Amino acid sequence: MKSTMMDVPLLIPEIVERARHFFAEREIVSLMVAGRGEDGQPTAKLHRTTYGEVAERALRLASAITAAGVGPGERVATLAVNSYRHLEAYLGVPSSGAVLHTLNIRLHPHQLCWIINHAEDKVLLIENLFADKIPTILENCPSIEKIVVLGPLPKPMDGVEDYDTWIMNHAPQSRYPEMLETDAAGMCYTSGTTGNPKAVTYSHRSTLLHSLASAPKDALNVGQSDAVLPIVPMFHVNAWGLPYTCSLYGAKLVFAGAFSDGPSLAKLMQDEQVTITAGVPTIWMGLLAELDRAAEAGKPYQLQLERLVVGGSAAPEALIRAFSERHHLKLAQAWGMTETHPLGTVSITPPGIKFASDDGYALAAKQGVAVPTVQLEILDDEGNILPHDGKSMGRLITRGPWIAGSYYGGAGQDNFLEINGQQWFDTGDIATLDGRGFMQIQDRAKDLIKSGGEWISSVDLENALMAHPAVSQAAVIAMPDPKWDERPLAVLVLRQGHDHPGHAELTAFLSPRFAKWWLPDAYEVVAAIPIGATGKFLKRELREQFAEKTAEGTAVR
């Protein structure tokens, strides 16, 4: 029997309309770059606006996009830091029927142009801080028809518009175009394990469901009375969905823009009475150092923080303990990925266990329990589902209403599988699941290194290194790093008759092709790289070999 309930589409305009009418006075605060100090470092100023103003400007942006000839489903890209203008793009681009494509500001220009061309972006909204990239983009990205600069331009540039002037020349869009809830609303690229980056496209429906599911207490704990500071960049899986979740529920949003150092963040949290914040472990290490410093100086920060969400990489138990024991602050670990929108699991202390206890910290160091409607399983190498006993380790697979069912353009089909007629996504993480549903990541099957929340492709580095005349084989592995979580270490086999080219030469050799933070911290020479039955490098063995070496102090740097 069919139900008698309405079939109302779940669309991003619902978020815009709530923000505009119910939370019009609620504040949005952004730390913006005011200029440069004598030391060349950016100086900050605060910008204050409201959901009412942002929603109105977002609808002006929607009109401007349509007037620029961007049709339904066509892509509008952003290359921007976290700020109210980026939020306007989040709300305005999908409201016009176009797709918001958030570009990663840390990519090398080659990668950036490859992604823009692959997505066939038509309009680019670019932060004035990155204006130096405009000539390269114009030269190499033929699909780009219009470049609009967010914030004042240092000097006028041909064919480039000023965002504020552009949107204010258009009246707010008065009617939303026809759209289906399954239409794409957002697009994000993720580093490919092999080869080129792959994109997922989020639908209106998946975005709305993800926002609804992110707010509850046992998820990210976001409500109207909160002030939320997403430190995770808005180009990383929509800042974990927080701009949409906060707009839907009316939480005050605080953006740190280009400032992610401990002192700037601590001050912003104190001044804006931030209650919820989210970022990768590297960010929390910086914040912890600043909180420790202030406390030792006898001037502790007065913070209202209820929850610091940590994800993107594993949060070490020591970090969770340090925040709790030294500052009475709770880190809540979450796991997810670009393909999962990203919210997959959150580690919440179950009743009967105290967070500030050995058991509590041990659970908080796990990645947590799946949020409602997300399912997790682990598989052995033959594809059998393994028991949830907290011991069996296997490939983590997931399914749910906001999990990708394919990549844009049909790439990476190996990542999707069918079990008993159901579609699942293979995360490339190796995990355990226990009887209470707690998932714990044990390793990563995908050949990538995560440094400060950003991916480095070991395969790309290996291919580049093997083009060096002295190198016959190269394997790049992730080594644990206290500051960046992981850093690349290159293990090389040299060609006969060649000496180690040295750190400086190899760095110079790789530099033209890779961003600086991609370059290996060290280059170690071995007689042979261990190879498995399928002919692949056994990187787990190499990691163990070099972990021992590092521990022995015959360090590799």
Least separation in angstroms between residue 339's CB and ligand AMP is 7
Q: Which is nearer to ligand AMP, 333 or 432 (CB)?
A: 333
- Name every residue whose Cβ is closer than 8 Å to that of residue 310 and which is 6 or more positions away in sequence: 278, 279, 280, 281, 284, 319, 320, 331, 332, 333, 334
Least separation in angstroms between residue 315's CB and ligand AMP is 6
Beta bridge mates, 79: 126
Residue 173 touching ligand AMP (CB under 6 A):
no
Stretch that binds ligand AMP, among 4-12, 94-102, 407-415, 425-433 (CB under 6 A): 425-433
Residue 441 touching ligand AMP (CB under 6 A):
yes
E strands, 92-238, in order: 99-102, 123-127, 146-150, 160-162, 184-190, 198-203, 227-230
What are residue 4's phi and psi, to 5 degrees?
-100, 10
Q: Which is nearer to ligand AMP, 173 or 324 (CB)?
A: 324
Enumerate residues 276-315 that contact ligand AMP by CB under 6 A: 311-314
E strands, 81-159, in order: 99-102, 123-127, 146-150
Enumerate residues 179-208 that contact ligand AMP by CB under 6 A: 190
Least separation in angstroms between residue 441's CB and ligand AMP is 4
Q: Please tell me which residue in 450, 454, 462, 539 is annotated as part of the active site.
A: 450
> CA angle 407-409-415, nearest 5°?
30
What are the CA-CA distances from residue 525 to residues 466, 475, 488, 489 (Å)? 13, 10, 14, 11
User: Of 25, 68, 371, which Cα lies nearest the Cα of 212?
Assistant: 371
Q: What number of chain residues touch ligand AMP (CB under 6 A)?
A: 19
Torsion angle of alpha carbons 222, 206, 425, 310, nearest 10°? -20
Q: Could you confirm whether 339 is annotated as catalytic?
A: yes
Q: Could you confirm whether 190 is annotated as catalytic?
A: yes
Residue 427 touching ligand AMP (CB under 6 A):
yes
Handedness of CA 245, 328, 454, 252 (dihedral sign): positive
Stretch that binds ligand AMP, among 158-166, 335-343, 376-384, 540-548 (CB under 6 A): 335-343
Q: Please tell me which residue in 181, 339, 454, 462 is annotated as part of the active site.
A: 339
Out of 30, 333, 432, 451, name the contact with ligand AMP by CB under 6 A: 333
What are residue 426's phi and psi, to 5 degrees?
-85, 115
Residue 444 touching ligand AMP (CB under 6 A):
yes
What are residue 8's phi and psi, to 5 degrees?
-90, 125
What is the contact mask toward ligand AMP in residues 223 to 252, using x (rule: CB under 6 A)? --------------x---------------
Q: Please tell me which residue in 284, 455, 484, 518 is annotated as part of the active site.
A: 455
Q: Could you confirm whether 450 is annotated as catalytic?
A: yes
Least separation in angstroms between residue 167's CB and ligand AMP is 30
Out of 151, 186, 241, 342, name the contact with ligand AMP by CB under 6 A: 342
Least separation in angstroms between residue 356's CB and ligand AMP is 20
Cα atoms found within 13 Å of the Cα of residue 524, Cβ hemisphere only = 24
User: Of 388, 403, 433, 417, which Cα lies nearest the Cα of 343?
Assistant: 403
Residue 456 touching ligand AMP (CB under 6 A):
no
User: Of 32, 156, 52, 148, which Cα lies nearest the Cα of 93?
Assistant: 148
Q: Which is nearer to ligand AMP, 49 or 313 (CB)?
A: 313
What are residue 254's phi and psi, to 5 degrees?
-125, 130
Q: Which is nearer to ligand AMP, 337 or 490 (CB)?
A: 337
Q: Which residue's CB comes closest to ligand AMP?
A: 337
Q: Could you confirm whether 455 is annotated as catalytic?
A: yes
Q: Judging by DSSP bridges, how do beta strands 307-310 and 422-433 pair with one another?
A: unpaired
As annotated, the active-site residues are 190, 339, 450, 455
Binding site residues, ligand AMP, CB under 6 A:
190, 237, 311-314, 333, 335-338, 342, 367, 427-429, 441, 444, 455
